[in-house]
Amino acid sequence: MLNPKIANALSRTADLLEIDGADGFRINSYRRAGRTIKDTTEDIAVLAAENRLMDLPGIGKGTAARIQQLIETGTMDVLDELEAKLPQGLPALLEIPGMGPKKVALAFRELNVAGLDDLKRVIESGKLAALPGLGAISVKKIAEGIAFLESSGDRTPLGVAWPIAEELAQRLRELDGVDRVEIAGSIRRGAETIGDVDLLCEAEDGKAVIGAFASFDVVKRVLAEGKTKGSVTVSLEKNRELQIDLRVVDGESFGAALQYFTGSKEHNVRLREAAVRKKWRLNEYGLFDGKKSIAGRDEDEIYAKLGFPSVPSELREDRGELNSEDAPPELITLDDIRGDLHVHTTASDGRNSIAEMAQAAKARGYKFLAICDHSKSAVIANGLSIERMEKHIRAIREVGKEIRGFELLVGCECDILSNGSLDYPDDVLAQCDWVVASIHSAMGKGGAPKLSPTERTIAAMENHYVCAIGHPTGRLINRRAPMEMDMGSVVEAAARTGTFLEINASWQRLDLKDLHVRQALDAGVTLTINTDAHSIEGLAAMRYGIKTARRGGARRADVVNGLTPAALRKRIAAKRP
């Protein structure tokens, strides 16, 4: 659907209008329209074709015309005019944590800041901190945000790159003469961000396959087009491009090439060293004893010849995976998941109703689902007051009675406040089957009267009704750094209190990250993998969480979502008074 693209264009227009000093009513009309499109589950293109755009709240005649223009042309005059009018580097400042439209406009108007270099200059000179409404603390956070964005580089999140790779791989499979196509590289390993996409293809006529690949309609630029390798780019948001490399090999070398181009570089070095010790040679064409190929068609054959058990792709990071003769653990798979324990509905900031989310989960083969809408302090997410929460509890119970063979759990995502207390009192939490506690605000280091994120998280885990800590470090990949936390202390407290730690499967988070997953498992902590879905489409994000769990070495037994509903309730009850 075009909904996300249209919502982003409307929201960006609102931001640029605010930077330009436009009328507040006009700014808010675009912002409201963007939120409406974002929250709409129907396809906007279908609504437009049926002349039903103005049935949506906040969509008037003018906005509907602009949406229609976006659908038909991919652009919108008002947005194009604003981008041409404002300095080219100004909109990019909105990506810096702490730099909203008001601050960007202020810096532009008062200090003639037109881009990142200008912003760095006024930070260093102290002029930015002298502006009204800013100050040293705000500017320090902005400087930290700049450093974080620069360190994240141009890498693309897994959740953006993987679907693109899958689409291209499928299109290649449909070409005549193609026998096999696999996604390799860091996507296959499940890395949280991707440099470029590696595709591997088995075919006899490499030149024809690469020629067809280079002519796909999604290709923006062709970087290379040969007989065995082609490189192209596709467009991403914010004028970025993602490079896609395709290599065509024959069947005798396919396993060796898949292993080689999956990586990681460090893992491959260890394998080549093992080959050298046997006086063999390993490369992307195969394993050779002199000029004779002794393995290459299959990855497992290469590992076996070198004396290693076959290593799952997610573990190939040179973290000791080749140090043992024992087979690696049987890692968790998507098929092991019996339910999702953190989703949202229209009661707070979700796009689908309780019944719609439950039916969608059941359609995926799940046996249970926990509805976890936001608590009252999450005002921006339409958090539920105690009165609304109690009505919501009754509504979840009613829907649960109507669905056979499926358990619908009453849950909530309860904010952990700055003093370590929870957003709901115990008598409300006691009515819930499942409580996720999360930090959403005041993410700094702490200091009286505020507690640090570590102290707040541990305080929440001491509560008997808190089942899990949601997105424990609060990071947003490429957008917000994790909170400063003592993960050793958090993991110890989780083990001591019997609290689950969440792998938030949303590709924007993947939090816990893989190294923290391993740290938690080593301490005996049980994990929960949840999508934090705000729509039925969001339930598909579970696969990203599975990849992260596998990178950390998680098995089915390590994840509470793999339990039966009865076993799940027994585990929850073990912590309750």
Integer Cα distance of 183 and 297 in angstroms: 16
**Residue-level pLDDT at 100:** 85
What's the average model confidence in pLDDT over 225-253?
91
Mean pLDDT, the chain, integer: 92
**Residue-level pLDDT at 329:** 87
Residue 446 pLDDT class (50, 70, 90 cuts) = low
Residue 458 pLDDT class (50, 70, 90 cuts) = very high
101 shares its domain with 168:
no
109 shares its domain with 193:
no
pLDDT tens digit sequence for 55-81: 888 888 888 999 999 888 888 899 989
Is 61 or 172 the better-scoring residue by pLDDT? 172
Domain stop point among 305, 328, 351: 328
**Residue-level pLDDT at 4:** 75
**Residue-level pLDDT at 3:** 79
Domain stop point among 152, 171, 206: 152
- What is the number of H-type helices and E-type strands within the chain? 22, 17
273 shares its domain with 414:
no
What's the average model confidence in pLDDT over 263-271?
95
300 shares its domain with 203:
no
Which residue matches tokens 């990019």?
92
Domain stop point among 249, 283, 312: 249
pLDDT tens digit sequence for 235-244: 888 778 899 9
pLDDT tens digit sequence for 269-286: 999 999 999 999 999 999
Residue 447 pLDDT class (50, 70, 90 cuts) = low
**Residue-level pLDDT at 303:** 96
Q: Is the dihedral of CA 248, 252, 258, 260 positive or negative?
A: negative
**Residue-level pLDDT at 86:** 87
32 shares its domain with 164:
no
**Residue-level pLDDT at 196:** 93
61 shares its domain with 122:
yes
What's the average model confidence in pLDDT over 8-34?
88
416 shares its domain with 553:
yes
Domain span at residue 324 reads 257-328
Is it the case that residue 1 has pLDDT exceeding 60? no
What's the average model confidence in pLDDT over 30-53?
83
If one counts every other C-beta atom within 10 angstroms of the C-beta of residue 284, the result is 16
133 shares its domain with 194:
no
CATH number assigned to the domain comprising residue 560: 3.20.20.140
What's the average model confidence in pLDDT over 79-90?
87
List the Cα angle 90/477/412 in 5-degree steps: 115
List the Cα angle 203/162/39 in 5-degree steps: 140
pLDDT tens digit sequence for 106-127: 899 889 888 888 999 999 999 9
Maximum separation of any 2 CA atoms in the chain, in Å: 77
**Residue-level pLDDT at 155:** 87
pLDDT tens digit sequence for 356-398: 999 999 999 999 999 999 999 988 888 999 999 999 999 999 9
pLDDT tens digit sequence for 498-513: 999 999 999 999 999 9
**Residue-level pLDDT at 36:** 83
List the Cα angle 344/473/335 in 5-degree steps: 55
What's the average model confidence in pLDDT over 501-528?
97
Domains in the chain: how many in total?
4
Minimum mean pLDDT range among 39-48, 51-60, 286-295, 398-407: 39-48
3-class DSSP string for 233-276 = EEECCCCCEEEEEEEEECHHHHHHHHHHHHCCHHHHHHHHHHHH
Is it the case that residue 52 has pLDDT exceeding 80? yes
**Residue-level pLDDT at 115:** 87
pLDDT more than 70, % of the chain = 98
Minimum mean pLDDT range among 45-49, 334-338, 372-376, 419-423: 45-49
pTM given for the model: 0.81
243 shares its domain with 268:
no
Q: Exposed, middle or buried by CB within 10 Å (0-12, 13-18, 19+), for 107?
A: buried
CATH number assigned to the domain comprising residue 318: 3.30.210.10
**Residue-level pLDDT at 468:** 98
**Residue-level pLDDT at 563:** 97
Extended beta strands in 290-433, E state: 292-295, 339-343, 368-374, 407-415
What's the average model confidence in pLDDT over 224-229?
94
82 shares its domain with 207:
no
Distance, first Cα to last Cα, the chain? 47
From 332, 279, 282, select the one nearest 303 (Cα to Cα). 282
Residue type, 22: A
511 shares its domain with 437:
yes
Is it the case that residue 302 has pLDDT exceeding 80? yes
CATH number assigned to the domain comprising residue 217: 3.30.460.10
290 shares its domain with 225:
no
CATH number assigned to the domain comprising residue 79: 1.10.150.110
**Residue-level pLDDT at 449:** 67
